[in-house]
Structures are given as C-alpha cells and as structure tokens.
Amino acid sequence: MLVSFPILVVTNGISSKTKIDNLLEKIDNVIADRACNITAGCGECRTITDDGGMIASPNFPNEYDSNLNCLYTLKAPLGMKIRLTFTEFHVKKCCDFITVFDGLANPLQVAMTGEDIPSPVISPSNRMAIKFTTSVDHALVNGTKDTEPARWQAIYTFV
C-alpha cells in the first residue's frame, strides 16, 4: 500500500500558500487604491469583508444626489462567492446606472437602471465591485418629477 502526504513548504514559520495569499492581497489593495475614484461619502474605497450586510445609495431611504460616482467593493473568504440581491431599485433610466463587476474588471451586470428589481447576481470569484453613477439632475426628468424617490438598496451574502 502506497501512502502519500501533501508537502507543505514552510519558510520562517510562514507557508508558501500564506506568502502567496499575502502577496495577492497587497496587489489587490494597490489595484483597488488606483481604481478607486469616488465622490466623497459615496461608496467604499476599502474592501468590505463582513459575512453579509447591506449597501445602499447615498441618503437612503431618501433620494440620492446628482453627479455621483460610487464604488463598493466586497471580498468573501477564498473559496466562497458573493450573492448580491437588490431589495429596492429606483434608478433613473435617463442618466443613472449600476454596474456589477467580478473583482474590479469583469462586468457581470452592465448598466442596470429603471424600476424593476434585477435578478440576484452571484460572482464567479470571491470578489465583487458595484459601481453606481449618476449624472444630470435626476429629480426633474422631462419636466416632471417622479413620485418614487430615486434610491436603491441591496443585501450581500457569502455563499
């Protein structure tokens, strides 16, 4: 009978896997810092690692402002994915949109807008970024004010 054991190389008390994970984390932080271009108080320029939680448009449950550039980044533990489920969705079709990315680069859902709650989004990796952009004065569109405030809210869980 042949018995085999996995080999784990340890140097200075730190495994090579830990070193690789630490290096990848540093690279991710540099990329996130360079990619983070948000309006003050709108989104997170840090990785949210809580097991689950809620993100929402600024001023929620009240109406969000014009000319926003928001970024929310989520990171699950290795081997897990992220499920994003919108619970409220009132995003002006004329000029505002939400895009969900796997990490910071690969779009999963592009330019979500309107009043219909989108289907849940599940990331193929352990990372997700949500970008929310508004442009012109959304409170007055085509000369009429909408009855529902422009706002959105989503919950995220690690699966």
How many structural domains compose the chain? 1
Q: Is there a domain that residue 9 lies in?
A: no
pLDDT band at 10 (very low <50, low <70, confident <90, very high): very low
* pLDDT tens digits for range 51-61: 788 999 999 99
Q: Is there a domain that residue 126 lies in?
A: yes
Report which of 50, 15, 159, 34 is spatially closest to residue 104, judged by C-alpha positions.
34
Q: Is there a domain that residue 8 lies in?
A: no
How far apart CA 22 and CA 82 sit, in angstroms, is 21
Q: Is there a domain that residue 48 lies in?
A: yes
Which residue range(s) make up the domain with 149?
14-158
CATH number at residue 38: 2.60.120.290
Residue 36's CB is within 10 A of a number of other CB atoms, namely: 15
The rounded mean pLDDT for the chain is 77
Q: Is there a domain that residue 6 lies in?
A: no
Q: Is there a domain that residue 85 lies in?
A: yes
Average pLDDT in the 117-123 region?
Answer: 95
pLDDT band at 112 (very low <50, low <70, confident <90, very high): very high
Are the C-beta atoms of 156 and 55 separated by less than 8 Å?
yes
What string of DSSP letters covers 102-156? ETTTEEEEEEE-BSSPPPPEE-SSSEEEEEEE--S-TTSBTTB--SS-SEEEEEE
CA angle (105, 28, 157) in 5-degree steps: 75
Q: Is there a domain that residue 144 lies in?
A: yes
pLDDT band at 147 (very low <50, low <70, confident <90, very high): low
Report which of 44, 33, 66 is spatially closest to residue 133, judged by C-alpha positions.
66
